[in-house]
Amino acid sequence: MRQTMSPELRRRETISGYLFLLPSLVFFIGFVVIPMVMCVATSFTDANMNSNEVDHFVGLANYIELWQDPVFLKALVNTIIIVVVSVPVVTVFSLWVASAIHKMKEAPLSFFRVVFYLPVVTGSVAVTVVWKWMYNNYYGIFNYLLKGVGLIEKNINWLGDPRYALGCIIIILLTTSVGQPIVLYVSALSNVDQTLIEAAEVDGATNFQTFWRIKWPQIMPTTLYILVITTINSFQCFALIQLLTSGGPNYATETVMYYIYYTAFKLFRFGYGNAMGVILAIFIAVLSAVQFRLAREK
């Protein structure tokens, strides 16, 4: 039917198609595409935050400076640590929770889905301030509880100690990252072909075998999607840092996203900040591509 479209119909479809797209395209081009282009373009200039001043083209100077900037390198290492820890933990954790709850009745299933999504909905600011209180040196419950069970002898300044600060941040990040993957895995697991599982059970397959041989390949696209979104989220870890540690102590929790913000808002180096943004985007794109490739091969 579609192949026999007359030129007249095709023309009409094109016009009406673009008319329907127009409102959305205005916003998409105006507030997504243009900033993207600006991000790349200004990364080759010495632009500051004042849009009235003329930007000077500086070539690759910003990019060269990045690799000699110890704070950026530290931020990059921290960001990679966050990604390397949180992505596998989030994926395995949410897969386990989803397998444990997906066969439940509607009420408990909804309950658990909502509970694990709660930290996301609560909002990063509310979540962060309460964790800040819980981590507090004097009135925080962590010091109280850990002293109570005898794990530590005296209070630890969790967020002020370079040895613990990044770990503390990762813990909060984990609680705010599992909600969406759990919802996705629950839906993927309930869509797995039941006849295959029954057939395998008749053949005497163990639960482990059914999972590995039948369910795992079928939920692979979901796993892939979860890997990608969790990677992107972890790379963008910002609110926690800004509200809890401002990158400190001694750059122990500096992340790329926070450093971009710092460069643009505190140092007013717009072009330099955008160069970092470009590098961050490239990192995420490469990592997502690698994950895709690896998952495809399996």
Partner 1 sequence: MSKDNGRSKAYTICSWVILIILAFLFIFPLYWIITGALKTQAAINSPTPQWWPGEFTLRNFQTLFSKRSAPLFQFKIPFLPLMVTGPIVPAAIRWLVNTVFMAVVAMVLTCVTAAMAGYALAKKRFIGRTLLFSLIVAAMALPKQVILIPLIREMSALGLYDNIWAVIFPTVGWPFGVFLMKQFSESIPGEMLEAARIDGAGEMRTFTQIVVPMIKPGIGALAIFTFINSWNDYFMQLIMLTSSSNLTISLGIATMQAENSTDYGLIMAGATLAAVPIIVVFLIFQKYFTKGITMGAVKG
Q: Which of residues 167-186 bind partner 1 (CB under 8 A)?
A: 175, 180, 183-184
User: Residue 66, interface with partner 1 (CB under 8 A)?
Assistant: no
Partner residues linked to 225 by β-bridges: none
Out of 24, 68, 194, 195, the residue judged to bind partner 1 by CB under 8 A: 24
CB of 16 to partner 1, least distance (A): 5
Q: Which is nearer to partner 1, 124 or 253 (CB)?
A: 124
Residue 257 to residues 64, 246, 277, Cα–Cα distance (Å): 19, 11, 8
* Non-local CB neighbours of 252 within 8 Å, separated by 6+ positions: 78, 162, 163, 165, 166, 245
User: Residue 235, interface with partner 1 (CB under 8 A)?
Assistant: yes
User: Residue 105, interface with partner 1 (CB under 8 A)?
Assistant: no
Q: How many separate helices (H) and strands (E) can be counted in the chain?
A: 16, 0
Stretch that binds partner 1, among 83-91, 156-164, 192-200, 217-225 (CB under 8 A): 217-225
Out of 94, 228, 230, 262, the residue judged to bind partner 1 by CB under 8 A: 228
User: Residue 111, interface with partner 1 (CB under 8 A)?
Assistant: yes
CB atoms within 10 A of CB 138: 8
CB of 239 to partner 1, least distance (A): 5
Stretch that binds partner 1, among 73-81, 84-92, 106-114, 160-168 (CB under 8 A): 106-114
136 class by beta-carbon count within 10 Å (0-12 exposed, 13-18 middle, 19+ buried): middle
User: Residue 281, interface with partner 1 (CB under 8 A)?
Assistant: yes
CB atoms within 10 A of CB 222: 19
